[in-house]
Structure 1
Amino acid sequence: MHNKHRIATLLALTAALAGCGGGTDKNSTPAPAPAPAPAPTPAPAPVPSAPIGVNFVLPSNNVLEASASDGLVVNVAVNGSPAPNGTSVTLEVNPAAAATVAPVAPTTVGGVARATLSVGSSLPTSATFQVKASAVSQSNTATDTVTYYVRPTPKDLQVLVPAYFSGTGTSSPWNTLTAGATSYPKVQITAIANPHSGILTPNTEVNADVLTAMTAFRAVTKPAGDPSNRVVGYVATASGSSGALSVTDVKATIDNYIRLYPGVLDGFFLDGMSADSTRLAYFQDIYTYVKSLDGGKYSVIGNPGTYPAAAYAIANSGTGVADVLVTYAGNAAAYQAIDPQPANPWVYAKDNTAQAMLVHTASTCTDMQTALAKANTPRMNTGMVYVTNLTIGTPWSALPTYWLQLLGTVDAINQRRTLPSC
C-alpha cells in the first residue's frame, strides 16, 4: 500500500506540472516580449541667466542668385563672454518664402551657432529678404538681422574701351586694340569711338582713318557662338561753353553718326549723363529716339560716372534711359571704397553687364587686377570693365601699358582660370 500511494502521488505531480506548461503546446500564444525602455528625454537647451547678446558675422557675400546656398554664422555672448555650448539660436527668414535655413534652431559651440541658408529656386531677381537671429536668456532677448539681395545669374565680363584716339598710322592705338581683340577672341570688347568730340553737325565730315580702324576692329574673327566686338559713337550731352545741349542737338549728332559711319556703329555712348532726376525726361527722350532707329538695333550706354537715381536704371512707365550705366568713372584708389549698399540696391535688379566701370590711375598690373576683382564681386555686380594706368587729364588718350594683361585677366576670370602673372 505504501508503494501504491507513492506512485499515485508521483502521477498526480506529473499531471500538475504538465498543466502548468511543462510540456509543449503548438497552439499556445507565447508570452509578449518586455516593452523597450523609453528613450531618455533630451535635456533642454540651457537658458542663460545673465544678459545675452547676438550678432551675425556679416557674410562676405550677401548678394546671391536663385537656388544658391550660403553659410550663416552667429556669435552669441552671455555677459560679454561666449555663450555656453548648447545655447539655442532661432533663425527666421522674412518673407518666409524667400529662403530656408537648416537647422532653424542651431545651438552654439564655443559661442558660435551655424546654419545653411538656401535661396528659393523661383525667387525673382531684385528680391530682398532678411534673416533674423534671436537668443533668449532669463533676463533679456537679443536679436540681429542681416539683409540679402538676389541678382540675375552673372554673365561673362566684357571690356568697355574709351577709344578716344586717332586712327592714323601704324602706331595708332586702334591697331593695338584690334591686335588684342585678335589675341583674345573670346573676350567681348566694346570700343567707344570719338572722332568728333561728341558733336556732329551736317557740316561734319567723316574721319576716314577712324572709319577704317573701326571696320577692322569689328571684323576680328570670333569663335562660333561668341559675341562680336562692338563700336559705339561718343555723344556729348553738355558743352563746356554752353552747358547742356538740347535734345535736338543730341539727336542731330546721332543722325550724323549714322550718316557718316553706316554699318559700323552698334550704339551710342551718352557722356555727361546726370545722376539726379532733374534731367531724367531729357535722357528718356534721347533713349526713346535711339530705339526708334533702324528697328531698335542700337544700344545706349549712359555715363553718369556714379550711381544715379534709381529711375535712371529702372524703366519708368515703359520708358528707359540706357541699356548700360557707367556707375563709376574715377581713380583706382577711390574705387576700392565704392559700395552700392545700402543706397543703391537697384543694381541687383539688372544683369551685371548693365553696369560698367572706367578706372584710371591704376599704376601697375597688380592694381589693375585688384580693380577687376572688385568689379567682379557679386556685391558690385559690374560686368563691363576698363582699367588704365593713365592718369587724370588724359586717361583715355591711349591704351594702358598692360593692355594684353588686362584682356588676359578678363579671359581668365571668365574661364575660371588662374590669373596671368604680372
Structure 2
Amino acid sequence: MTSFQSGQGISEFLLPKQTPVRETLEGWEDWRRKRKSFTPAPRLDLAAWRALSPRQRTLHDLHRTSTHSNLPLLQTPMTKAVTKLVHGRIMGNALKHKPTTRAGVMVTGGGYQGKTETVCEIIATFEDTWLELHRQLNPDAVPGSRDLHAPVAYVQTPVTAKPKSTCKAILNFYGAPIHARMDLPDLVRQVAVSLQENGTKVLVLDDITRLRMHRVDDQDTLDLIRAFMSMHVTLILIGVDIPRSGLLQEGRRDPSNGQYVLPPSQHAKVHGLEPTQTQRRFDLVELDHFRYDTPQQIAAWVDHLAGIQANLRLLKAPADVLTGGHMPEYLFERTNGVVGALERLIEDGCTEAMETKEESLTVDVLDHIDIILEDDAGRDPDAGEIPAIPPRRSQVERKRPHNSVFDDRGPAEETG
C-alpha cells in the first residue's frame, strides 16, 4: 500500500517543515542531508486513478503537484564539464600538504541556468565524501574550540557588498559572534579563525557579479575576497557573465593553462594573512544554456527533455509528451534553452493541465502559460540574474502588424 492510499507520510511530500536556508551552517547541513530524500508520486494511468477513493485521489493529486514542483537536478553536457573541473579542483586542493595558495574557480553563465544548484550539488557531494573519509570528525580540530566540522561554507554576496558586510555574511554562516565594535581587521581575523577552526576546505561566494567595479567599496571587497585564498581554502565564485562584469579587469590569462592570474591581495599584505606576494589564479568555466543549431545540440536538448519527461505524473500524457513531434522545438523557442525557464514552464504547465483535466502537456496548454521569473526576490535584475524570455506564440501573433494592402474597404466614397 502506497503512502497516499494509507494516508501515512503525507507531510513528507505535502507539508515541507521548512525551506532550508543554505546561507547558515545549520541550514546547509539540513539541505545536504535531505537533498535526495524526496519520493515522487507513484505513476498511475487514468483508470488506476479513477479506481481510488475520493480522498485517495486528492492525496495523490497533491503528491503529483509536489512531484512537479520538485523536479530533480539533471546532468547536462554543460554541467558535466563544470562538475569535472570544480570537483577536481576542490579535491586536489583539499589533499595538498604544501602551504601554498590554492587556485580558485569562477563559474559563469546567464541567469537561471543552474549555476548555483550545480555547484551546491558538487560541493555537497565533496562534503559527503570528505566527512566519510574522516568519520565525520574534523582532522584539523583546534584544542579548546567548538567541536564543529564544516568542510563547505556557502555564502551569498550581499547586494550592496562592502568588505565589512562580506566578512559578516561569512561569519553569519558559522553563527560566529560579531561585535558592534569590530573593525575590518578584527572581522578579517575572525573569518580566518572560523575557516580554520571549522576545517573549511571550500568557500563559495554566490552572485559575485553583484559587485560593481566602478565603486571603490566593491573593488576593496574583491581584493578582500582574493585575500581569503591565503586561508588555504578553495574559493569558488559564482556569477552572471563574469568576463563582462569587470571582475577580471586586473588579471591576465595564462596561455599555458588557461587560468586567469590576478595580482596579490592588498588586504592579505596589510592584515598579515600571507607574507608572500603570491598571485591568485582562477579557472573560469561557463555553464552555458542549451543550443539548437547542430544535430548534436538538438540531441542533447531532447535527451534533457526525456529526463524531465520521466518525472512527470500526468494521467493522459503520452510517453513522448515532451520529446515527440514539434514539442522540442517549441519548448526551445519558449525558453531559449535556459533550464530554469524550462523548469518553470513545465511546472506551471503541469498545474494547468491538472486543473483543466487536460492531464497532458500540449502546445495549446503551454501557450497559456507566461514564464514569470521576476517574482524571485532573491535575484538582482541589474546584475543580469533574470534572463530575457521570448513571448508566447499567441502574444507574437497579436503583436504582428496586419498587412492591409488587400483589405476590402468597401465602395469608394464619391466626391462632389
Q: Using CA pairs under 8 Å that are at least 6 residues apart, name the structure with larger relative contact order, 1 or 2.
A: 2
Larger proportion of helix: 2
Same fold (TM > 0.5): no
> Under a length normalisation based on structure 1, what TM-score does the superposition of the two structures give?
0.26
Larger radius of gyration: 1
Instruction: Name the TM-score, length of structure 2 as normaliser.
Output: 0.26
